[in-house]
Structure 1
């Protein structure tokens, strides 16, 4: 019996040991930039047939002068990270491209060391505008290979680059009352069963509008009784027309038991604010901890049972000894 008890206790200790795992977080380093642009993204409301002007500044953070080409191009967004892809060919016109509206003052630029240059550009909006928003990228392509910056179209507050090019996105919002605003939630993935929390929920938001949107929303989780246990707001990110963005949210705590309801609610957050929802259910149960508890209870029952059995055997032995003593006393009395 002792042999089996030790084996069970050893197994329980092993289960408890593999149950608790400490995660390791890796750090990242970010490189600095010598060339920057302001504003990285600018918006301007225009009317069909209007003539106006826009301005953009390029700053050289290096100790040497920078010479480069000044260009304006269209771009498209094809991935779920929101990375613009430059349309180089004039034959491949973008549906939302506005590069043909912008006239550059010249095709080259020179920026002194630790200084900036403002570029003033003319804009001519055609009368027959077919969309509600148009976009263009005004960028500098340095002639020196020593000036290199990292691409980062994902963050509106940072500069945007393509290879050795750096530029700012110009958005033209056209006055139009018939603009469509819509979105769709797709790629909704979640675990159907999980041992520990939090629960990782992933989904994509696709922009079906005639202009860019910055969706706002949240993801929450409620227990079997309908009581909310956690809620996380989604990160607000710009999504261009006919493009999408990927989101992931962690919901709940580590210890969760039962059936939980996941609700994702996203609104376009534009002029009409169209909203969409997705609902899912997931079961949570820490089976290894439960197994360790059950095995511990079994071992305790075995130990207690053994103690009770030993105590009963001891009482019987004492009773026998007492009877023997009484017999001896009786025999001694008879001899006397």
Structure 2
């Protein structure tokens, strides 16, 4: 199933420029037709614009936390799931590419996302928020790693019996301190060095709500030559991180499809927004072109697998109703 979103039109035209839209997402205020069953949400959006050219995609994503030169955290991202009361074991690895042995101090901290690029920021002080994970994780304080070798790091995650279902997030980081011996760690008042590590996404099984809204979809009013930047922002009020995928379909003045740009928004964390950018790049074109945005995101039973599908929509281009509400509840 899908929801097609179309702008109002006069004689086949939509006013050019930035269009911002937002819908309340609670159950009382959802617009008709916004609810989709089977654990799937689909977002479709349309925009018409005047150009003289054609398009290509540039996708912004989350970059893994890697070493500057001599340390590598493996993997950069770890996705786990479990039930309240369970103890989950996992393994990470850290690689020492330097020519000398190193002792790496280990820190486990919650992280949050401040910006619309999905950049994780560690929370150093103790937090008792909905998404906290660090207090559940047991990890070594210090790890010795020989030169040019990889060391395994064993983790235990004890899920409280009162844990709320949905996403919980932390980062485990390493910092090189070659002069520190294992028995001297607690005597050190301050440790200085560069940290690298792994982001841990943990999903607690149970009922999960997925709510997404397209809050921005912007295209330049007029372009004489390429490239044309197509930008947007997706806001999440979900209980778990979601990863919308889809495409932007470009139609020419005769309503014929001339390009389709695959689009991956990246992870959108709970109570955050995420920007996306696509670039259409061709030297020549003429007249008014249309861009249809189709995003799909779905959660299958709150486990670590997130199922997504892409749908394209070019039909009913004269409809004036705009729906930008995505709201699914999963048990």
- Band the TM-score falls in, shorter-chain normalisation: 0.5 to 0.7
1:188 paired with 2:217, answer yes
The answer for the alignment partner of 2:324 in structure 1 is none
The answer for the alignment partner of 2:184 in structure 1 is none
1:116 paired with 2:147, answer no
Q: Partners of 1:78 and 1:33 in 2: how far apart?
A: 27
Q: Unmatched 5+ residue regions in structure 2? A: 1-65, 180-191, 301-306, 318-331
The answer for the alignment partner of 1:35 in structure 2 is 71
The answer for the alignment partner of 1:164 in structure 2 is 194
Paired residues for 1:1-336 under 5 Å: 33-90=69-126, 92-104=127-139, 106-143=140-177, 164-176=194-206, 178-235=207-264, 237-251=266-280, 253-271=282-300
> Structure 1 residue 274: deviation in Å?
9.6
Higher relative contact order structure (alpha carbons within 8 Å, sequence separation ≥ 6): 2
Q: Would the alpha carbon gap of residues 233 and 130 (structure 1) be closer, same or farther in structure 2, given more than 3 Å must change?
A: same
Q: Would the alpha carbon gap of residues 174 and 78 (structure 1) be closer, same or farther in structure 2, given more than 3 Å must change?
A: same
Q: Which has the higher Rg, Structure 1 or Structure 2?
A: 1
Higher strand share: 2
Say whether the 8 Å CA contact 1:74–1:94 is kept in structure 2: no
- Give the paired residue count: 232
Q: Unmatched 5+ residue regions in structure 1? A: 1-29, 146-161, 282-336
TM-score, structure 2 as length reference: 0.63
> Structure 1 residue 32: deviation in Å?
5.8
Say whether the 8 Å CA contact 1:49–1:125 is kept in structure 2: yes
Aligned Cα root-mean-square deviation (Å): 2.9
Q: Would the alpha carbon gap of residues 276 and 94 (structure 1) be closer, same or farther in structure 2, given more than 3 Å must change?
A: farther
Say whether the 8 Å CA contact 2:245–2:309 is kept in structure 1: no
The answer for the alignment partner of 1:284 in structure 2 is none
Higher helix share: 1
